[in-house]
Amino acid sequence: MTEVLLAGLCTLDILQLVEKYPADNEKVTALTQTVAAGGPATNAAATVAHLGGTATLLTAVGRHPLAAGIHADLTSLGVRLTDLTADDPGPPSVSSIVVSAGTGNRAVVSTNGAARSISPLPDLPAVLRDISAVQVDGHYPELAVAVLTEARRQGIPTLIDAGSWKAVTPALLPLLDVVVCSADFHPPGITAPHDIAHFLTDSGVRWIAISRGPDPLLRWTGSDFREQPVPRTPVVDTLGAGDVLHGALTLAVARRWPLTDASFAEALDEAAAVASRSCASFGTRSWMSASRSSRTDSC
């Protein structure tokens, strides 16, 4: 079984589906709710496990009572959690998310874990010994740099969920093999897709793509972009779709490494199909149940 390591943020996500967002000082009754572990690396790990890979998550959770919900969710999904702050009594990062039933749009209030430090780091050579690919999300910068550095030393492919530019990004880019960035990822003073691709190439990144929601992915060939269509699906909730994309991509890259232009395109198509499926149901876990039911019905 393909083993993947993901390092980064873990939150407790509380999601409410509503007919409309509340106005100031207004209360609305949710149509439904769900609670799950969240965060880019965490949702990616859940995706890897759902797709049949072995997912190890390096993150910070702690021993606050709220952490029990995170542990229960990840255990049910088969994600191997390595909590680097297991003795921390403080609460985990929490995200409060309101999703509009009419549009699938969302409003999010969250903490990003910046106040929690991770030290000491684990024995990374041993942790990575049987790993086939590594993904970081840029949260916990010291952890991200250490994981990518050791992965590079061991010849393990490295990826990042590049949702936005972070202060640590310049230190990470030379350690990365694959960068799939969102349309909101802009190096300082750079906005045009071609300029972003050249910037990443100059930083040492070989495999590059830009995700643009429902619009075609842009895959960099080394000299230009090729468009790769994203499967259409009725959108209920886009929360976590980018995380799902990166989790599915990391597993697909691990199974195809070393990459060629053709196999990178295949990996992107495979990941985009999974991410699109995740938008057809509410929350970050319901799509997995729907996927399992579909596979059972087809047997």
Q: The CATH number of 3-9+41-92+120-297 is which of 3.40.1280.10, 3.40.1190.20, 3.20.20.150, 3.40.50.300?
A: 3.40.1190.20
Give whichever of 130-139, 229-238, 289-298 has the largest mean pLDDT.
Answer: 130-139
pLDDT reading at 31 higher than 70: yes
For residue 252, how far is the Cα from the chain centroid?
A: 14
Query: Omega into 120 within 30° of 0, i.e. cis?
Result: yes
List Cβ neighbours of 226 (8 Å cut-off, separation of 6 or more): 218, 219, 265
Structural domain boundaries in the chain: 3-9+41-92+120-297
Residue 156: which region, alpha, beta or left (left: phi > 0; alpha: psi -120 to 50)? beta
**Are the CB atoms for 262 and 217 separated by under 8 Å?**
no
**Are the CB atoms for 214 and 279 separated by under 8 Å?**
no
pTM over 0.85: yes
Instruction: Pull the structure tokens for residue 112.
Output: 């990003």
Distance CA(188)–CA(215), nearest Å, equals 24
Q: What digits encode the pLDDT tens for the residues 40-93?
A: 999 999 999 999 999 999 999 999 999 999 999 999 999 999 999 999 999 999
